[in-house]
């Protein structure tokens, strides 16, 4: 993960972190695909209010972003 990954504590911080990760991807369709996927996931989980579930989502999203960045 990027160095800022351990600082992600909220959904907004996660959103910003993931968009920063996208900037490191090759420009074009790949970058557009992941930016769209990040926005859609943020909208889908926007009404989540369980703090434990939010932390699970954040952890999983950072792991997934790390996988994509290393791909």
Query: pTM value?
Result: 0.82
Which two structure tokens, joined as six digits, stand for 65? 């972003």
Q: What is the pLDDT of residues 24-70, one digit of tens each?
A: 998 899 999 999 999 999 999 889 999 999 999 999 999 999 998 88
- pLDDT of 5 reads 78
Using left for φ > 0, alpha for ψ between -120 and 50, and beta otherwise, residue 8 falls in beta
Model confidence at 2: pLDDT above 80: no
For residue 7, name the pLDDT band (cuts at 50, 70, 90): confident
Going 61 to 66 to 12 to 4, the CA torsion angle's sign is positive
Within the chain, residue ranges assigned H as helices are: 11-23, 29-44, 51-70
CA distance 67 to 71: 6
């Amino acid at each position: 993960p990027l160095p800022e990954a351990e600082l992600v504590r909220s959904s907004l911080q996660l959103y910003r972190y993931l968009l920063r990760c996208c900037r490191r991807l090759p420009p074009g369709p790949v970058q557009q695909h992941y930016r769209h996927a990040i926005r859609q996931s943020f909208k889908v989980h926007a009404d989540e209010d369980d703090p434990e579930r939010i932390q699970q989502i954040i952890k999983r999203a950072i792991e997934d972003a790390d996988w994509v960045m290393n791909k």
